[in-house]
Structure 1
Amino acid sequence: MNDGGKRFYLVDGDILPEAILKTALVNEMLAKGEVTKVSEAVEKVGLSRSAYYKYKDGVLPFREPGRSNIVSVSLLLEHHPGILSRVLNTVAAMEGNILTINQSVPEKGLAPVAFVLDRSRMSVDLPRLLAELRQLTGVRSAQLVGSEEE
């Protein structure tokens, strides 16, 4: 029975029809600015404009409640060449995107570093990233400082 209100479902994408999945891709491309016109986006994904307009307002991305994609991380690095580079390469290998980075002048052989990370596309979770960073030679500590909700 439907009382006229909207009903929402959390559904595994593997069981959705192709038109729904392609509509989600078009919405994502438009939101990210990868394309500027609907016609360009639907052509890229192989979807008709009529199918897109039929589903566009009903397909929304799912975001985990309480999970922020923007986080601040604090590190304490030994003052040796290449350590910061290894940290950055590790983050990049896990598909993290560093938005800002600050390194203070080293004192007593240790340099504090802080960076803000967009983890929305990361291939691993945050605890795994921090564990990997802690394993790098020259990284004395790596910890989550904070996060902000989108």
Structure 2
Amino acid sequence: MQQDTGYYVIRKQAVPEVLLKVVEAKKLLESGKVKTVNEASAMLGISRSSFYKYKEDIYEFHDSLQGTTFTLTFQMNDEVGLLSYVLNLIADFGANILTIHQSIPLNGVASISITIQVLEATKDIMEMISIMEGKEGIHKVHITGRSATY
């Protein structure tokens, strides 16, 4: 039986309007056309709470992710070998690690930010994230940045 990744591919017309507006708000913020979430939300007619509720859960799907960089952020318990596990997982999926930033652990938990580049041989990034999230000691993985590197 195949593992449930928690991700679905659906047609745009089936996506509730509020979610599409959250995607648009994120684009406005990333492009610098607006400076604040409040501005983007008002412009698009959604509440700030809707933006914050869904911002980490919806992204546009791109047929080809090759040449794209992703920044993954997550919290991780301060345990021997856990960061090594994450780095090996990324390597096993064939992505190129560009940067790694780790905070000093507070109360046994560190904040991690890893920027990866998707290559021709890179396997399914969403599956990799799902495996990361399933590992004990790793807390919710977020894609906080994504850009094309042509």
TM-score (norm 1): 0.53
Kindly indicate whether the alpha-carbon contact (under 8 Å) linking 2:93 and 2:125 is maintained by their aligned counterparts in 1. Answer: no
SS of 1:113's equivalent?
A: strand
Q: From the superposition, tell whether residues 64 and 144 of structure 1 become closer, same or farther in structure 2 (CA, over 3 Å).
A: same
Identity within the alignment, %: 23
Residue in 2 that maps onto 1:107: 106
Kindly indicate whether the alpha-carbon contact (under 8 Å) linking 2:70 and 2:147 is maintained by their aligned counterparts in 1. Answer: yes
1:69 aligns with 2:45: no
C-alpha distance in structure 1 between counterparts of 2:108 and 2:93, whole Å: 28
Q: Which range is displaced more, 131-140 or 93-102?
A: 131-140
Q: From the superposition, tell whether residues 108 and 73 of structure 1 become closer, same or farther in structure 2 (CA, over 3 Å).
A: same
TM-score (norm 2): 0.53
Residue in 1 that maps onto 2:141: 142
Shift of 1:64: 4.4
What residue identity is the alignment partner of 2:113?
Answer: A
Kindly indicate whether the alpha-carbon contact (under 8 Å) linking 1:77 and 1:141 is maintained by their aligned counterparts in 2. Answer: no
1:80 aligns with 2:84: no
Residue in 1 that maps onto 2:120: 121
Shift of 1:137: 2.2
Kindly indicate whether the alpha-carbon contact (under 8 Å) linking 2:77 and 2:138 is maintained by their aligned counterparts in 1. Answer: yes
Kindly indicate whether the alpha-carbon contact (under 8 Å) linking 2:65 and 2:118 is maintained by their aligned counterparts in 1. Answer: no
Residue in 1 that maps onto 2:94: 95
Q: Which range is displaced more, 119-128 or 98-107?
A: 119-128
What residue identity is the alignment partner of 2:123?
Answer: V
Shift of 1:66: 7.6
Kindly indicate whether the alpha-carbon contact (under 8 Å) linking 2:68 and 2:117 is maintained by their aligned counterparts in 1. Answer: yes
C-alpha distance in structure 1 between counterparts of 2:121 and 2:100, whole Å: 18
Aligned length: 88
Q: Which range is displaced more, 69-78 or 117-126?
A: 117-126
Shift of 1:146: 1.0
| Larger gyration radius, structure 1 or structure 2 | 1
Residue in 2 that maps onto 1:13: none
